[in-house]
Amino acid sequence: MGARRGELLGALSTSESKRYLLFYLIMILGIPFAYYRRAAFEGVFEAYILQMLFFVLVVFQVTSLQRLKSFVWVICLCAVTYSVFGGVVQTFGGERFHVAGAMFDPNDTAFVLLSLFPVCVYFVRFNQGILKRLAAVSAIICSIAVILQTGSRGGILGLGTCLAIVLLTKTGGIGKGYKLLVVVMVVSTILWFRDSIDLGRYLTLSDLSSDYNLSAKGGRIDLWEAAVDLTLANPLTGVGVNCFSYAYFLDNVASGNSFLEYKAVHNSFLQISAEVGLIGLGIFMFIIARSLLTFLRVSRMQPSPETREASELRALGGLVLVGFAGLLVAGFFLSQGYSFYFTLYFGLAAVVARLQAGSSAGIKLAPGSADTSERYRGDGLKAS
């Protein structure tokens, strides 16, 4: 880090960074009380610590609008790679469509793409070159196609949330022409892939009475009730990071239940409450709420005078709000509480908050990193 040590301390001193570090500290404190301490230790110090490092690098390095746009371009390339090459070209020949490989199941695949593709709209709305525009259009169309083909009902609800925000609000600065383009892209995608989309699975959302998740042992309702019970039994520290499955199994053994399987909770928020405790859940939900408010505030800012840089930042604030909303809806039905994509959006919230504060203080948003870094020295929020 060298001479930039002061900048690093400034990035870590922001309120967003402090809350995220506090959440990590709560995870650490719960290790001695975990049902399976080794699993909790490995989850905290071998897995989640990588996300902590990623968060620190984001808030430390993305210090200008130009760097934010470069970062969003990387996200767009990720969406292209995962949806085009991983999904459309290399499909998995199972009952439900998902990207080749064993990392994610169909529901997780939908969750990942919902987290990535909305920000790609930026390169459609603002002229950043024909290559970036083509990549963004490919990412959007292929992501929607893969999400629809996964048969993920949580994914379709998340997609519907994203589309509703885009089409019914002014979030992201998307005008009528671009909204019409979004409708055309969605409808064209549905028509093109109609033979591989399981509409019957989605129609079950209108009548869930026969769904196993409502009544069967090991269904989502049973798992959610177990998560609530485990939370109330361990309100301060939870059962330990990555320990819900083990705690659920032990609970069934203790109660004499014949259903003895290790199951994930399938709800990101109940996963955090059961494994980290109510204090950890409170911090986690507060980070989410503050991130949403930050994205909303930036998407509605009205700088004077109006500049292209301010317009781009406002649009980016709105688009990350759309992606975050889709992530939250899909994450309600999945065990993604420790997902990298939550960390991604927490980092983006810290970045756009600093840039918006700099814009309000009269700091130009477009310079290169050297000039901008000087302005963010200190607490990262005020102009020097």
Q: What is the pLDDT of residues 226-266, one digit of tens each?
A: 999 999 999 999 999 999 999 999 988 888 877 778 889 99
Over the stretch 7-46, which tens digit does the pLDDT of each residue have?
A: 788 778 888 899 999 999 999 999 999 999 999 999 999 9
Across 297-316, average pLDDT: 84
- Which pLDDT value is given to residue 98? 72
Contacts of 158 (CB under 8 A, 6+ apart): 110, 111, 114, 325, 326, 327, 329, 330
Over the stretch 185-210, which tens digit does the pLDDT of each residue have?
A: 888 888 888 887 888 788 888 777 77
Q: Where in the sequence is the domain holding 324, given as residue range(s)? A: 16-197+221-375
Kindly state whether residue 8 falls inside one of the protein's structural domains.
no
Kindly state whether residue 70 falls inside one of the protein's structural domains.
yes
CA distances from 383 to 71, 353, 354, 371, 376 (A): 23, 14, 10, 12, 7
Over the stretch 339-348, which tens digit does the pLDDT of each residue have?
A: 999 999 999 9
Kindly state whether residue 230 falls inside one of the protein's structural domains.
yes
List the structure tokens of 132.
């970036």
Angle at Cα 130 formed by Cα 125 and Cα 135, nearest 5°?
A: 75
pLDDT-based confidence at 181, cuts 50/70/90? confident
List the structure tokens of 349.
């919230």
Across 283-302, average pLDDT: 93
List the structure tokens of 47.
């897995």
Mean pLDDT of the chain: 85
DSSP labels, 230-289: HHHHSTTT-S-TT-HHHHHHHHHHHTT-S-------S-HHHHHHHHH-HHHHHHHHHHHH
Kindly state whether residue 213 falls inside one of the protein's structural domains.
no
- Which pLDDT value is given to residue 304? 67
Kindly state whether residue 98 falls inside one of the protein's structural domains.
yes
Residue 362 has pLDDT above 70, yes or no: no
Count of structural domains within the chain: 1
Euclidean distance between CA atoms 202 and 193, whole angstroms: 15
- The torsion of the CA quartet 281, 277, 47, 39, rounded to 10 degrees, works out to -160
Angle at Cα 302 formed by Cα 371 and Cα 290, nearest 5°?
A: 80
- Which pLDDT value is given to residue 327? 96
Kindly state whether residue 191 falls inside one of the protein's structural domains.
yes
Kindly state whether residue 302 falls inside one of the protein's structural domains.
yes
Contacts of 115 (CB under 8 A, 6+ apart): 323, 326, 327, 341, 344, 345
- At 81, which amino acid appears? T
pLDDT-based confidence at 367, cuts 50/70/90? very low
Kindly state whether residue 274 falls inside one of the protein's structural domains.
yes
- Which pLDDT value is given to residue 159? 94
Within 13 Å of residue 65, how many CA atoms lie on the same side as its CB? 22
